[in-house]
A and B are shown apart, each in its own frame.
Chain A
Amino acid sequence: MKYYIKLAVNLMIVCAVAAAALSLTYSLTKKAIAEQAKQRQIDANKAVMPEATGFASIKKPKTGNVATIYEAKKDDAKLGYVVLVNARGYGGTIEMVVGVDLAGKVTNISIISQRETPGLGDGIVAPKWNLQFKGKTVDDKLEVNKDIDSLTGATISSKAVTAGVKEALKELQQAGK
């Protein structure tokens, strides 16, 4: 019996020290991690709404792939919306933002994070490819190989982004924007 208690105490000490080390690391890196996440979001928002000076999160739908809708403002004037979408790509979630102006037209899209195949699917981050979504509205077909060019060898990735844009536009329409 004594032997087993000794084992338990032994393991407990190791775990306690490990926990202390981890909580220390966590508190040291917490600020940097939060800042990185915030910075990435702001960079992406700025990429699709370059003129905006402020973004305010206005709605978080509970269903679907739309994570957040931001209202883009320049000083006090409303410029449009930025929709954060978690599209389902070939290699996992594609985190992307879709900028939409007040007329309901896409201003641009930007990919925040993705894990598509290097060399093929990761072409979705290319600004040149992203620009073809510019001007699309909820009434457009938004179908790969019809009004959207697919990336060579990366149909699934292309479709995922296209579906993400479509969902963002639909969500905005439903929200009455």
Chain B
Amino acid sequence: MSNLKVAWADFKNGLVVENPLLVLMIGLCSALAVSSRLENTIFMGVAATFVLVCSNAIVSLIKKVTPPTIRIPIFIVIIASFVTIVDLSMKGYFPAAYERLGVWIPLIVVNCMILGRAEAFAYGNSIFRSVADGLGIGAGYTMVLMIMGFVRELLGSGKIILFDSTVLSLGSAYIKDPIRILVFFPGAFLVFGFLIGALNIVRQKREQK
């Protein structure tokens, strides 16, 4: 297989086969917390993807000079640095989004999705493949996050607000009395459960074929 094909396979693997949220079920804590609004999920997804890709690239780049005994502290330093870069940049240039995401941006450091990919993939693969893997996992994370954010915000508050303008509304009658629980924490678990259920149905149907 050519390099590009391998990278594409790595990307798809992260997006679907090993989707961090729906299949591996890692990095759930922040995902459940920030998915109450669609706009939040976009920023969170981009931030996590950036950290994933950069940390994967650096970990892969220095894997030959990283002694196995101290690899975890080295990974943590790398990941924490990129998270701080994201944190400072968002604070300076996207203050409104930063305000809403709050503590979840710095907490990307301890998101096991990122350390997991550094350890399980980037430490043993080429830079090219590691970046593809980071992009795939990041895209898979962002995709599921956005679906959850969309469902929770639309059904939970009756409308979708993106960058201070309402892009989708279910009408004033619904907005008055929406399924409020969906924007709360239990709502995150409910939506997440339904998503996993839907995925399992798709899988079963595929296997039957």
Chain B interface helix/strand/loop/mixed: helix
The verdict on A103 contacting chain B, using a C-beta distance below 8 Å, is no
A86-129 CB mask vs B (1 if < 8 Å, else 0) is 00000010000000000000000000010101111000000000
CA gap between A15 and B70 in the complex, in Å? 13
The verdict on B4 contacting chain A, using a C-beta distance below 8 Å, is no
Q: Determine if B180 and A120 form an interchain contact, defined as CB atoms under 8 angstroms apart.
A: yes
Known: A22-B81, A117-B184. A10 touches B88 (CB 8 A): no
CA gap between A25 and B91 in the complex, in Å? 12
In the complex, the chain B residue whose C-beta lies closest to that of A152 is B180
CA gap between A113 and B156 in the complex, in Å? 22
In the assembled complex, the CB of B73 is this many whole angstroms from the nearest CB of chain A, namely: 6
Q: Determine if B74 and A25 form an interchain contact, defined as CB atoms under 8 angstroms apart.
A: no
Q: Which residues of B contact A15 (CB under 8 A)?
A: 77
CA gap between A14 and B36 in the complex, in Å? 37
Partner-binding segment picked from A26-34, A71-79, A157-165, A169-177: A26-34
The verdict on B199 contacting chain A, using a C-beta distance below 8 Å, is no
The verdict on A58 contacting chain B, using a C-beta distance below 8 Å, is no
Q: Which residues of B contact A18 (CB under 8 A)?
A: 77-78, 80-81
The verdict on A7 contacting chain B, using a C-beta distance below 8 Å, is yes
In the complex, the chain A residue whose C-beta lies closest to that of B66 is A10
Out of B65, B80, B91, B100, name the residue touching A29 (CB < 8 Å): B91
Out of B67, B92, B183, name the residue touching A36 (CB < 8 Å): B92
In the assembled complex, the CB of A88 is this many whole angstroms from the nearest CB of chain B, namely: 16
In the complex, the chain B residue whose C-beta lies closest to that of A92 is B102
The verdict on B157 contacting chain A, using a C-beta distance below 8 Å, is yes
Out of B36, B65, B73, B85, name the residue touching A25 (CB < 8 Å): B85
Chain A interface residue count, CB cutoff 8 Å, equals 26
Interface residues of B in 152-200 (CB under 8 A from A): 156-157, 178, 180, 183-184
Q: Determine if B77 and A29 form an interchain contact, defined as CB atoms under 8 angstroms apart.
A: no
Q: Determine if B78 and A36 form an interchain contact, defined as CB atoms under 8 angstroms apart.
A: no
Q: Determine if A7 and B69 form an interchain contact, defined as CB atoms under 8 angstroms apart.
A: yes
Q: Determine if B84 and A25 form an interchain contact, defined as CB atoms under 8 angstroms apart.
A: yes
Q: Determine if B77 and A36 form an interchain contact, defined as CB atoms under 8 angstroms apart.
A: no
30 A-B pairs with C-beta separation under 8 A: A6-B67, A10-B66, A11-B74, A11-B77, A14-B74, A14-B77, A14-B78, A18-B80, A18-B81, A22-B84, A25-B84, A25-B88, A26-B88, A29-B89, A29-B91, A29-B92, A30-B92, A33-B92, A36-B92, A40-B95, A92-B102, A115-B102, A117-B183, A117-B184, A118-B36, A118-B37, A118-B157, A118-B183, A119-B36, A119-B180
**Known pairs A36-B92, A118-B157. 20 more at Cβ < 8 A?**
A7-B67, A10-B67, A10-B70, A11-B73, A11-B77, A14-B62, A14-B78, A15-B77, A25-B85, A29-B88, A29-B93, A30-B92, A36-B91, A36-B95, A40-B95, A92-B102, A115-B102, A119-B157, A119-B180, A119-B183
Q: Name B residues whose Cβ lies closer than 8 Å to a Cβ of A.
A: 36-37, 62, 65-67, 69-70, 73-74, 77-78, 80-81, 84-85, 88-89, 91-93, 95, 99-100, 102, 156-157, 178, 180, 183-184
Q: Name A residues whose Cβ lies closer than 8 Å to a Cβ of B.
A: 6-7, 10-11, 14-15, 18, 21-22, 25-26, 29-33, 36, 40, 92, 113, 115, 117-120, 153
